[in-house]
Amino acid sequence: LHYLMWFRRDLRIHDNTALAALCERANEDNASVSAIFFLTPEQWQQHDTSLVQVDHIARTLPILAKDLKSQLNITLTVQLCPSFSDCIESLTSLCKDNDISCVMANHEYEGNEIGRDEQLCEQLAKDDIEFVRWHDQCILPPLSITTNDGDSMYKVFTPFYKKWRHTLDVSTIQMHDAPAVDCDDKIELKSSKNSAHTADDIKALSEEMLGDYQKTLQKEDSLQHIDIKAQLTAARDAYPAGESAACQRLDEFVADDINDYDVSRDVPHLHATSQLSAYLTIGTISPRLCYLQASKVQEKLHGNDGDNEDIDRWISELAWRDFYRHVLVDKPNLIRHKAYKEDTDTKVSWSYDDDDFQAWCTGKTGVPLVDAAMRCLNATGFMHNRLRMVTAMFLTKDLLIDWRLGERYFRQQLIDGDFASNNGGWQWSASTGTDSAPYFRIMNPFSQGSTHDKKAIFIKTWLPELKDIPASTLHSEDKMRKALAKGGDFANADYPAPMVEHKSARKLAIAEFKKE
């Protein structure tokens, strides 16, 4: 008997639900296990997957191949299959050619991914091949947390969180670790020339695919302002690949930074958040492991009923990730660019002004905190959560630009780009989503600077041309305009005046949302 593990956004060994289930069954049935991963550049491009994320995947695969071999006695095959329809075809013939009778994978919740799996399921069933999928991406699976009265999905985070937390308090979370596979009756998957079986070959194939992906992206006008090489270098330095690197980051975070999280998490220059999102997005670390490690520290420090605001706050961030996956599965239309609050699509006259949009993308709005954040994103492929909210609100409220443009741009740049969390964050900021910011509560990007970047350390890191301007000026629109008009310190700064006046832009945005 031969079984196949299909890796997707779950590039790890520990607590990988499908992998554990498949290995356990293989040992019971004395079956062999092989594994496959498809490089799908056409599909990734269609989904606006950033180059830094594709690079992260490419760097992770050879490590996964080595770990699978040494820890579980499983060979990983990586195959180039540009689109999802190619994957269906390849997987079907792989199963037939190699006498594979069971394929296991973990669920993905986006539209094309669901469509692909359903088609494949039908295809494989024709030959009596099982295709079993497991919930693995969340701490508690989508749709498992519902309202007490009507079995419907929560529309607001706080009651969702209470129920989510209570469910975890009264149940034991299971980690699923796969046993090594006993059966030595190995098959080497027969497949096309575009596939690789050893860590070195996987590295070479992935790098070739990455080079082509980079060339394709470079042809896109919209990305001309990005120094792609510099962005790649920064992302590689900040995110060493692989499961051990991710686990080490989690260990270090819970041993130290988590103890100050509630206060420091909103100060961008402190780097006080876990920076685990890039790993969670491609599944190099299990969200359940994150939750359990944090809970362990909480128990050790405070006993069973002890509250700790820092640890609670961090756990609640993991719950936001689960929440947005629950929302997506409940409202699959979100994948079709629909607003959660559909009436906002007819009510608000969104702008599509390309000059305004480009000023935002390139960090040239004349609003220091927004520009610093955008330049940081362009240079590193990462942006701090507080700044994601500030820049998204600026685009959607001060410039009244359609949130979908910003959502797409973030996906094209972010190393942690993830449909559910990104869409959720954008619709929250644009006041079109579930549990979103009320439309009249619009962040002032200048006062956000004075609260969260008091000494303008973050601003000056990314806008060195402003290094001689006092922080108090950078945090006040009036002072900025006056100082710019006078020249003075700004004379040599080559920095634009704020492109909109926040007060009047705010009024306009509120009027749009109030329209009947």
Interface residues with ligand FAD (CB under 6 A)? 265, 273-277, 280-281, 317-318, 320-321, 324, 385, 388-389, 392, 410, 414, 416-418, 421-422, 424-426, 429
Query: Least distance in Å: CB of 424 to ligand FAD?
Result: 6
Which CB atom, from 25 or from 375, has the smaller least distance to ligand FAD? 375
Is 428 marked active-site?
Answer: no
Contact between 454 and 471 (Cβ < 8 Å): yes
Query: Least distance in Å: CB of 355 to ligand FAD?
Result: 22
Write the DSSP assignment of 149-190 as a string of letters. TTSPBPSSHHHHHHHHHHHHHHS-PPP--PPPP------PPP
User: 388 Cβ partners below 8 Å, 6+ apart?
Assistant: 373, 410, 425, 429
Catalytically annotated residue among 24, 207, 350, 512: 350
Catalytically annotated residue among 164, 320, 428, 462: 320
Residue whose entry in the numeric block shows the structure tokens 């080559």: 494
Which CB atom, from 124 or from 280, has the smaller least distance to ligand FAD? 280
Catalytically annotated residue among 44, 164, 403, 428: 403
Catalytically annotated residue among 130, 208, 317, 512: 317
In whole angstroms, what is the distance from residue 447 CA to residue 440 CA?
Answer: 16
Return the structure tokens found at 448: 């956000």
Query: Least distance in Å: CB of 435 to ligand FAD?
Result: 11
Is 134 marked active-site?
Answer: no
Q: What is the sign, positive or negative, of the torsion defined by CA atoms of 452, 455, 457, 462?
A: positive
Is 360 marked active-site?
Answer: no
Which CB atom, from 206 or from 421, has the smaller least distance to ligand FAD? 421
Catalytically annotated residue among 426, 444, 462, 477: 426
Q: Is 53 helix (H, G, I), strand (E, B) or coil?
A: helix
In whole angstroms, what is the distance from residue 229 CA to residue 379 CA?
Answer: 9
Query: Least distance in Å: CB of 271 to ligand FAD?
Result: 8
Is 320 marked active-site?
Answer: yes
Amino acid identity, position 457: I
Query: Least distance in Å: CB of 155 to ligand FAD?
Result: 16
Which CB atom, from 416 or from 453, has the smaller least distance to ligand FAD? 416
Query: Least distance in Å: CB of 375 to ligand FAD?
Result: 17
Which CB atom, from 183 or from 270, has the smaller least distance to ligand FAD? 270
**What's the 3-state SS for 353-379?**
CHHHHHHHHHCCCCCHHHHHHHHHHHH
Q: What is the dihedral of CA 44, 196, 244, 310, to 10 degrees?
A: 10
406 burial level (CB within 10 Å; 0-12, 13-18, 19+): buried
Is 385 marked active-site?
Answer: yes
Which CB atom, from 55 or from 416, has the smaller least distance to ligand FAD? 416
Q: Which residues are catalytic?
A: 317, 320, 350, 385, 403, 426
